[in-house]
Amino acid sequence: MNAIIFGAPGSGKGTYASRLQSRLGVDVIAMGDIFREILKEDTPLGRKVKGYVEKGLLVSDDIVINVLKERLKKISNGKGFILDGYPRTIKQAKALEEIAKIDVILLQMVPDWIIIERLSSRRICRNCGAVYNIRYLKPKVDGVCDKCGGPLYQRSDDNPEVIKKRIQVYQEQTSPILQHYKKNVPFIVSSITDLETKPETVIEEIMKELKKLKLA
Ligand SMILES: [Zn+2]
């Protein structure tokens, strides 16, 4: 099964992708993580990407497409994937069509107020990057990481005004891409309407729909 997962920042798509990975035995290709690694490397590609980031520009489609191609080569035969953070443009979507068949789109619909609630109560360990939430996933000791004892902090862009802006950017970027796929790829839409919905509930729903499509 080859899937693409879409969802606003704070929609939980990263969590869902990794849970589906263990349920289905597919690879998760998270483009954000791949680019964070590339940025750390002192390679021609790393320097090129840094050039874009430092100027505040989006990395060019050609670079993103090549990085994806390289990553797809590493997937063992017959093993599917869940793509997260790609495509961001129609050009990227079309390039993907030439290298892989997409069986399903997993779309996470989460109301803005839930995203704002979740992200503004998020805390991150400065030392190991572990993610907590002061409402739903509290550390054992306030402000201290359970895993490594490091201090927890709030990202400066996890405040309601910036979060609203990030949701808007996501929607503007994604809606033409979703329109593009609606023509010929089935969608599984997960809608969350309250804060208490557990990830397992969402995963069970997605699994049920995947079975209907004979993809699980
Ligand atoms: Zn930590």
Instruction: Please give the distance, rounded to the nearest whole angstrom, from the Cα atom of residue 170 to the centre of ligand 1.
Output: 29
- What integer is the mean pLDDT of 29-49? 93
Q: Is the confidence at residue 77, as pLDDT, over 80? A: no
pTM of the predicted model as reported, rounded to 2 decimal places: 0.88
pLDDT at 63 over 80: yes
Active site residue 47: no
Catalytic annotation, pick one of 23, 50, 69, 88: 88
What is the rounded distance in angstroms from the CA atom of residue 110 to the CA atom of residue 193? 7
Q: What DSSP assignment string belongs to 121-185?
A: TEEEETTT--EEETTTB--SBTTB-TTT-PBEE--TT-SHHHHHHHHHHHHHHHHHHHHHHHTTS
- Sorted by sequence, the CB contacts under 8 Å of residue 68 that are 6+ apart come out as 29, 31, 83, 86, 92, 95, 96, 99
**Is 13 designated active site?**
yes
